[in-house]
Amino acid sequence: MNGKRLQKRVWLFPAAVLVLIVAAVLVDYVFKPRLPVPFSLVPLAAAGGYVIVSAIDAAIALKKVTAGMLVVLALIGCVFVGEYLSGAIVAFMMIFGEFLENLTMEKTRGSVRELLSLVPHTCRKQEGGAWKEVSICEVRPGDLIRVIPGERIPVDGVITSGSASVNEASITGESVPADKTAGDKVFVGSLSENGAIEIRTEKIGSDTVLGKIVSIVHDAQENKGRAQRTADTFAAFFLPAVLLICILVWIITGDIMRVMSVLVIACPCALVLATPTAVIAAVGNAAKRGILIKGGSAVEAMAKVTVICMDKTGTLTEGRPKVTDFTVFDGISREEAAYVLAAAEQSSQHPVGRAVMDYLRTENLMPEELPQGEFEVLFGRGVKTCRKDRTFLVCNGAGLLEAGIFDEKALSYLERKEEAGQTAMIISENGQVLGGISVSDALRESSRDTVRELKNTGCRRIVMLTGDNERTAESICRKAGIEEFHAGLLPQEKLEFLKRLQEEGERVMMIGDGINDAPALAAADLGVAMGAAGTDVAVEASDMALMSDRLELLPAGVALCRRAYRIILENIIVFAFIVNIAGITLSGMGFLNPVAAALIHNASSIFVVLNSSRLLTWRPGKGGGAEYGWKKEGSSKDHRAFESPDRLRYHQRTEK
């Protein structure tokens, strides 16, 4: 059965019980037809039977008392005093909460399927001096594989010949494809955007980097489990105490009505309603504002977060390169430099080349006619187009040295921009330097405000984890107002860092958008996925998802979850336990009969619902932080560097 069909069917039973409860209200209390038995017995039998069987199974499987046993006890009391409708409602709330919590269990399979879809089913393998298309299952370590432009790499290995621009976003999170040549390592699932390469296979299947990611995501989600309900925690003590009280009341007074009053007032209606009503209200409030919260465990985890870890690409940044500077040198016009730039980049399929061409169009600098010539990709250096006696070159420092061009202005420009964490290139024609252009993965306009608002919610330690280089990471952190970053990390290393934090007693939130973030999202105490910009696997591996790419929504989501958790505690402590303890005392002393006990426990349930419903209209208050994320439109504020370089702490991955 597929996941969607399963999700539809699991709602059929609780929906049917709810319909029966509504029908019972109409039949027994509105129309009041003459029936041999109250109609309320129908939903009570259906829902109560399910709860009793489930409670017994859970007690046997877990070898401990759960909240379900409290409900069974309450159902007995409700039947004895004739409160059939109350019993049906109690059973329905237990069923509803259980199904609400189980709806996302199918997500693990979807996560793994999305990861595995990156692995091609066939590849070109060298056999007998010829290239043959074979199943990926026939590839073994040591085999030689050929990958052409537009294909995904099927194995982990080392390039033996050829050069290519490889998009490794699914593995390392790098926003800009890496230029690879002989001797460089490549990973399964990476995309070869241009250039043909031959790869010597080193790892296949589950031994590859992607295979390990699949395993990590699966294991992390399976081991993470569901947070045990607060009701279950207290039930282990509460049920024996109620039974002991009932026995003592019977021994001391011999009054069965007092015993039944104790059973009814001890009914865990408020306890059962305490968490799901607050969660539903919080989830509904957040959903209207573009935040998907996956149940009560996510609300609880968010409320207890102490450290926030954030990916860079697609989270703090927009996830696509943009031109940040276009400079012409003395005596050169922008139009002349733009003509050479467009002539060199017009045939490039590299994201940097596309970003340059988009910039020229946006700035109305695109020439009406471009010269056609022989285009060449200088892997790791730049691009070149030759036409008769004209050579158009756009390249980095290595490309300049190779072309024999030595220019102080060009070298100064490259050094300045690279120190700022940008990809810088020099524009030249026939050896004459005309200007420079720099590209970077732009910081989201809302990132600095979002980081400040997250700190206002109480999350004082915010860490950026990225696969990018140290200079780029430092530059982004400075602009975003983040004091700590760890650069050059592979997915496993991000996961190891999170685990170290958890071992230190920290509650960790991980925010990311790419497949490479999925293990960390699944293993963190709370995983938050960027929705529109993120991959499906990241969304499924997370506990919370921003349905758009508006990072500024997150602080308000954190504040809402913390408020919801406080209301859950209020519901449990005040309306469930204090009222129950007082009611049990009064019932045992004979001040409450079963009817009065039923009224009190129903009143406590109503107060739980009313208290939780405040979350439906809750908004962050002024001065309390998180106001920014709840606004309809974000605002761009000060993005100046926040501190000096020595305030930044970083960890550069050591190559093994």
319-443: CATH architecture? 3-Layer(aba) Sandwich (3.40)
Does residue 595 register a pLDDT over 80? Answer: no
Instruction: Find which of 19-28, 162-171, 185-194, 440-449 is predicted with most confidence, using mean pLDDT.
Output: 19-28
Model confidence over 58-70: pLDDT tens digits?
788 877 766 567 6
**What does the pLDDT average to over 281-296?**
77
More confident residue, 540 or 307: 307
User: What pLDDT, on a 0 to 100 scale, did the predictor assign at position 112?
Assistant: 59
Does residue 390 register a pLDDT over 50? Answer: yes
Model confidence over 399-425: pLDDT tens digits?
899 899 988 999 999 988 888 778 889
Residue percentage of the chain with pLDDT more than 90: 28
Write down how long the chain is: 656
How far apart are the C-alpha atoms of 425 and 594, rounded to whole Å?
Answer: 83
User: What pLDDT, on a 0 to 100 scale, did the predictor assign at position 209?
Assistant: 73
How far apart are the C-alpha atoms of 317 and 585, rounded to whole Å?
Answer: 59
User: What pLDDT, on a 0 to 100 scale, did the predictor assign at position 197?
Assistant: 94
Does residue 320 register a pLDDT over 50? Answer: yes
Share in percent of the chain as helix, strand, coil (round to 5)? 55, 20, 30
120-153+156-203: CATH architecture? Distorted Sandwich (2.70)
476: which 2 tokens?
């982004």
Tell me how many degrees the CA angle 361-364-370 measures, rounded to the nearest 5. Answer: 65
State the pairing for strand pair 544-546/291-293: antiparallel
Cβ atoms 489, 467 nearer than 8 A? yes
Does residue 654 register a pLDDT over 70? Answer: no
Model confidence over 627-651: pLDDT tens digits?
444 544 333 333 322 333 333 444 4
The structural domains of the chain, with segments of one domain joined by +, span 120-153+156-203, 319-443
311 is catalytic: yes
User: What pLDDT, on a 0 to 100 scale, did the predictor assign at position 540?
Assistant: 67
Question: How many Cα neighbours within 13 Å face the side chain of 355?
Answer: 22
User: How would residue 619 be classed by pLDDT, with cut points 50, 70 and 90?
Assistant: confident
Which of the following is catalytic: 311, 441, 449, 549?
A: 311
